[in-house]
Structure 1
Amino acid sequence: MAEARILVLGAGPAGAATALGLRRMGYAVTVVSDWRRFAAVEGVSQRVLEGLRHAGLGDALAQATTPATRQVHWSGERLQLNQECLLDRQRFDQALRDDLRRAGVELIAGRVREVARQRRWQVSLDDGQGVAGDFLVEARGRQAPLAEGRLRGPETLSLLNLWQSSPGTPMSAVESLDDGWAWMARLADGRCYWQITLDAAAAELPGKAQLPDYCAERRRQSSLVAQVFGPEALAPAQVHARSSTAILAGSCAGADWLRVGDAAMAVDPLSGNGIFQSLSSALQAPAVINTLLRHPERAALAQYFHQTRIEQLFLRFARIGRDFYRQEQGRAGQPFWARRQGWPDAQPLHQAPDWQAVRVQPQPVLRDGLVSEAEVVVTADQPLGVWHLQGVELAPIVRGLQAGAALARLVAPEQQAMVARWLHEQGYR
């Protein structure tokens, strides 16, 4: 059914990665997206660059080439790191569209007014345009309509401030505060960004008109702001308020629709880079959609594959954020920190190895661009299972070891050292 027309709502990293992967499979893909309504900059890590490269988003990758010295003031410690590249989101968003056009993806610019399911999906835009498709990918980020059964973390609000200063050396910084934390960055052309993240329920904020003065006063109280920026940082600036609450959609897949990126799982910004999270949830989407369209008899398997991986990604990032919050011991009793140092649960990010808990069972896997079923090895730290280790299928090896066979009889000599290391990490002796 390669003639199916697929509609992707949203041209951010998740929507672009999904659309590009589908186009490579031969599908007709139309991306409908409005432009970002505010200027922003993001700090990205090496893993984001690798994710963009893996997704084939070359133009977007080229925008993330400005290394910045990064300072961290957290829990009374002061560190200086060189592990962040600054990315102008407006230029990055344009580059994503350039990548899609080059791949032959149809782009429609506009704000979605209504999405309806009749015989096909019908999408209406504010300007009167309409487009129909056989499959719908919801990739509008946090702006996507809310899903039923969603899980929400502590209600969190971020206030992004931006102003123009003199050109200088790019740099970024992050600091913990009594009632939240702040991230800041300066680009080479003098554009400056400062964002404070607060508890939405506990923050005593003034009205919208007074927010610039409120934020300016908060910056005046920070020695790190004075160090990173010039005197312009002490004056009121343009403010954009947005939610940073961690949200997991209750259902992320259906027979003819899929949620990806922040529309499926949006995590606290302290948990890691948002672009990496979006890519992580979207790279599997083309194979899931390909399965739903070409092999409807595997629909339940494909939906389960997508849903469980979204949920596991969400919990993993949420626990990463929780552990970062826990590092701020000096403010552990403050309401902002107390609400976040125990959420989403008390389970450690990584489970201790336990060979007795290792088992082999069938699970959905990706094979040749489709979701199929295979025997995988489920461990305490990998509840969804591990299929291959650098091309070596693990299930037959584990079954053999559990039956009493020697490793040398189960694995080729040149692979034994690699497999033995992995087994040792699972608690095998």
Structure 2
Amino acid sequence: MLDVVDMVTAYDVVVAGGGPAGAATALRLAGSGFSVALLERSRFDRPRVGETLAPSIQPLLQGLGVWERFVALGPLPSWGTRSIWSSTAPAAHSHLETGYGSGWHVDRRLFDRMLCDAAAAAGTSVSLGTSLIDCRYDGRWQLTCSNGHRLTARVLIDATGRSATIGRSLGARRIAFDRLVGITAQWSGVDVSAEQYLLIESVPDGWWYTAPLPGHVMVGMLMTDADICRHHNLAASAPWRNHLESTTATALRVDSATCLPTTPRVYSAASHRLVRPGDIRPWLAVGDAALAVDPISGSGVPRALRTAEAAATTAARLLTHPADAIPLTTYESTRNTECTTYLSTRADYYAIALPHPTPFWTRRQLTAAS
């Protein structure tokens, strides 16, 4: 992978953000013969969340031509989900019913890096440790990078995740549906040989999930609302561990860990839709920047890769037919439909699992009823 963008500053497409959506969009466009620059602000040197991939990821990775790269990461099979909602007995769902055999537990840092490497191999100019600090449009995008480079592009793609940094700087508006956060830590030295499933357990302030990772690691995350997190100081190690100890199956699952968990880190998991009324400039938001969903849906990475395919198709059309505004309109209309479907699905999830008369669950009940 390159660490700097090529000296040639003119590109057909610049993609800001090297997560799954951004990397997959760049890979598809570069593979179609367009010149593409991909800017990723990190160097893939810190942990990332979203470790469990649904079985539907397999055909999507095969369609990108990266299945062999994925297998080389050594992912753990995920045989299904066990969930504890209103009773103490877990309900089990087997991935064998999907037709793909299993889902997968992965190190998301390595997974995201793998997709970025594949985009580079397809011809994308990849710059790590770099973000956009200024975007102007005068018939072409005039872009200034944090590393001092200046680029031009005919099409700009915002793949900056839930922050939607680029789109919001261009005047788009983010419609928030909740204030969900995830507070996560990892345990090492866990025998995960018999633990290759995702466990979800409800608690009064939200819900926990735990999942195994390659290398005898277990990850745990408490999903709650930002105000509840602040009120109980759940970003601190002691309150977080105390909250964990109030669970049943979740606490037992990590009881065999040989060391204390890492310091908890808080990540935004808020649902939102980015809207851009009346803006026909050639830019797109993709993945979580366009539509971010609740992790309870289990559709984050597959959704990102599917949106990347739609974004690449739309961007290619904008490049070959720059006077045609229909591709942008169609793309946004499809994202709106996806958003409506997602909100209905999320309401169904929480309508089934409403075990606690507490603010976290009452808010979801009100949303489901509205």
- Decide: shared fold, TM above 0.5: yes
Specify which of 254, 266, 270 is matched with residue 292 of structure 2: 266
User: Which structure has more RCO (C-alpha within 8 Å, separation ≥ 6)?
Assistant: 2
Assess if the C-alpha contact under 8 Å between 1:8 and 1:30 holds in 2.
yes
Change (3 A) 1:204 1:98: closer
Are the equivalent residues in 2 in contact too, given 1:271–1:318 (CA < 8 A)?
no
Inter-partner Cα distance in structure 1 for 2:306 and 2:366: 24
Q: Which runs of 5+ in 2 are unaligned?
A: 1-9, 96-102
Counterpart code for 1:262: D
Cα deviation for residue 275 of structure 1 reads 0.3
Question: Cα distance 1:106–1:60, how it changes in 2: closer, same or farther (>3 A)?
Answer: same
Which of 69, 72, 76 is residue 66 of structure 1 equivalent to?
76
Letter in 2 for 1:58: W
- Per the TM alignment, residue 157 of structure 1 is displaced from its structure 2 partner at its CA by 1.5
Q: CA deviation at 1:43?
A: 1.0
Q: TM-score if structure 2 supplies the norm length?
A: 0.83
1:29-428 alignment runs, 5 A limit: 29-35=36-42, 36=44, 37-40=46-49, 42-59=51-68, 61-62=70-71, 63=73, 65-69=75-79, 70-76=81-87, 77-83=89-95, 84-119=103-138, 120-145=140-165, 146=168, 148-169=172-193, 170-171=195-196, 172-203=198-229, 205-207=231-233, 211-232=236-257, 235=260, 237-251=262-276, 254-299=280-325, 301-331=326-356, 333-343=357-367, 346=370
Q: Is the 8 A contact 1:141 1:262 kept in 2?
A: yes
Once the two structures are overlaid, the 10-residue window that deviates more, 272-281 or 252-261, is: 252-261
RMSD over aligned CA atoms reads: 2.6
Residue 112 of structure 1 contacts residue 125 of structure 1 at CA under 8 Å; is this kept in 2?
yes
Q: Partners of 2:64 and 2:303 in 1: how far apart? A: 13
* TM-score, normalised with respect to structure 1: 0.73
Q: Could you tell me which residue of structure 2 aligns to residue 9 of structure 1?
A: 16
SS of equivalent to 1:67:
strand
Amino acid at match of 1:277: R
Name the SS of the counterpart of 2:47 in structure 1: coil
Alpha-carbon separation, structure 2, partners of 1:322 and 1:233? 39
Deviation by residue 1:264-294 (Cα, 9 ceiling, x = unmatched):
1111111222101212322111221122222
Alpha-carbon distance between aligned partners in 2 of 1:264 and 1:52, rounded to the nearest angstrom: 21
Q: 1:212/1:60 Cα in 2 relative to 1: closer, same or farther (>3 Å)? A: farther
Identical pairs, percent: 25
- Per the TM alignment, residue 326 of structure 1 is displaced from its structure 2 partner at its CA by 0.9
Counterpart residue number, 2:100: none
| Separation (CA, whole Å) in 1 of partners of 2:242 and 2:307 | 38
